[in-house]
Amino acid sequence: MFNRRDFLKAAGASAGVISLAGCAGGSKASGHVVVVGGGYGGATAAKYLRMWSNGSVEVTLVERNSAFISCPISNLVIAGEKTLADITVSYEGLKKWGVRVIHDDVVGIDAEKRKIRLAKHGELGYDRAVLSPGIDFMWDAVPALKSEAAQAQILHAWKAGPQTVALRKQLEEMKDGGVYALTIPKAPYRCPPGPYERASVIAGYFKAKKPKSKVLVLDANEDIVSKKPLFMKAWEDNYKGLLEYRPNSELRDVDVASRTAILEFDKVKVDVLNVVPPQRAGTLVAQSGAKLANGRWAEIDWTSMESVNAKGIHILGDSTLSAPLMPKSGFMANQHGKTAAAAILNLLAGEAPSSEVMMSNTCYSFVDARNVIHVASVHRYDAEKKTMLTVPGSGGVSAARNEIEAGFAMGWAKNIWADMLA
């Protein structure tokens, strides 16, 4: 049988000619793309595939959760400044773009046959698959937390949702004078400034409501990973004696019942223990046969976001082996989604992906309920080095924490949520 894929293969042979004759817009593209994971990467890819193809490409989004809940801004829910409703967005907007949204789990992917098997909805065939499953946790690194029961007591709250609400509840129930400890894994992990933001805004909550309490940061890294001078200044000015930072403090295990963090040379018993475990690409990525660096992060071609070995499978966001100085951020995943969408529309029209790829990033962090700091970067594809490199002279951080950027942080959130989902 001569199917659509064979046709595209044949068409690909004359890609150069087609490319020169090609007009703007991806409306020559046709086919079916299955996107797995409706977060910052996957939702963006789904919308942009429909928008840029003027509806000529069919898109199915498979997402486990019934609504999108944002990790960025979720630290403000934990600090009591926002509610879960404030960071929740419906998938209805994507349906208006003609994306078929299926709420289900993927149980298997066959890259050879180009089929994805779902737990409840049978099998989906695809011409191109986009995997944007985010991170999974490496529980082997914290053996006592392998069980779901243990994970319900010692929270990560590093995926926004029920864990976010549960951590807020633990902090509310903690007595004044208690200690909240946050453990940070060695980089790379999702959202480099995120842990320092969380420590800051929880310290802000304690300062206002439980002033005898303490925040203890146990960082496996040898130093603050992101925006160090700005975080240190905020801690010095706002949280002296309230927030303690310990570098080189890698977590080995925990004792769940006594809420004790077990380090190499020390044991720390606290009142609320919040463990951000080491991470790797979502399990689905490994299952697809895509090549992983160190068994953790997917190696991809930055012009298309396609796996270097698993053909037809594009991988986005935190699951990828990050390019130099590229953070695992929601902002970045959104940019990955657009690069993948552009490349897939080219491929489905029998054209090669463009090598002129640009991506930008801005990560805002709250250091208290009203003040924000940012880090920004611009990345350009380098054809010789085959990776994204930051443009020399671009990017940087806030001059100082400020209230103006708190407005921009919320403005950013509203606009990126709409860019993905509306």
Partner 1 sequence: MKKIIAATAAAALLLLAGPAAAQDPNLARNLVANCANCHGTNGQAVPNSGMASIAGEPKEQLIKRIKEYRSGVRPATVMHQLSKGYTDEQIDLIAGYLAAQK
Contact set with partner 1 (CB under 8 A) = 19-20, 22-26, 47-48, 51-52, 331, 334-335, 338-339, 342, 354-360, 362, 374, 376-380, 390-391, 393-396, 398, 402, 404-405, 407-408, 410-412, 414-416, 418-419, 422
| Nearer Cβ to partner 1 (270/373) | 373
Tokens of 133: 């499953």
| Nearer Cβ to partner 1 (165/352) | 352
Minimum CB–partner distance for residue 155 and partner 1 (Å) = 29
Minimum CB–partner distance for residue 361 and partner 1 (Å) = 8
Check residue 355 and report its DSSP letter: S
- Alpha-carbon distance 257 to 142, whole Å? 15
- Alpha-carbon distance 61 to 34, whole Å? 6
Minimum CB–partner distance for residue 400 and partner 1 (Å) = 11
Rounded (10°) CA dihedral 87, 92, 93, 94: 110
Check residue 91 and report its DSSP letter: S
Minimum CB–partner distance for residue 411 and partner 1 (Å) = 4
CA distance readout (Å), 245 to 68, 241, 401 = 33, 10, 19
- Alpha-carbon distance 180 to 165, whole Å? 16
For 193, list phi and psi in degrees, rounded to 5. Answer: -85, -10
> Exposed, middle or buried: residue 175 (CB in 10 Å: 0-12, 13-18, 19+)?
exposed
| Nearer Cβ to partner 1 (10/391) | 391
| Nearer Cβ to partner 1 (288/362) | 362
Q: Are 114 and 312 in contact (CB under 8 A)?
A: yes
Q: Which helix (H) or strand (E) holds 396?
A: strand 396-397
Minimum CB–partner distance for residue 138 and partner 1 (Å) = 29
Minimum CB–partner distance for residue 52 and partner 1 (Å) = 7
Cβ atoms within 10 Å, residue 143: 11
| Nearer Cβ to partner 1 (40/235) | 40
| Nearer Cβ to partner 1 (17/391) | 391
| Nearer Cβ to partner 1 (53/60) | 53
307: helix, coil or strand? strand
Minimum CB–partner distance for residue 149 and partner 1 (Å) = 39
> How would you classify residue 35: left for phi > 0, otherwise alpha for psi between -120 and 50, otherwise beta?
beta
| Nearer Cβ to partner 1 (221/402) | 402
Minimum CB–partner distance for residue 93 and partner 1 (Å) = 11
> Exposed, middle or buried: residue 287 (CB in 10 Å: 0-12, 13-18, 19+)?
middle
| Nearer Cβ to partner 1 (72/278) | 72
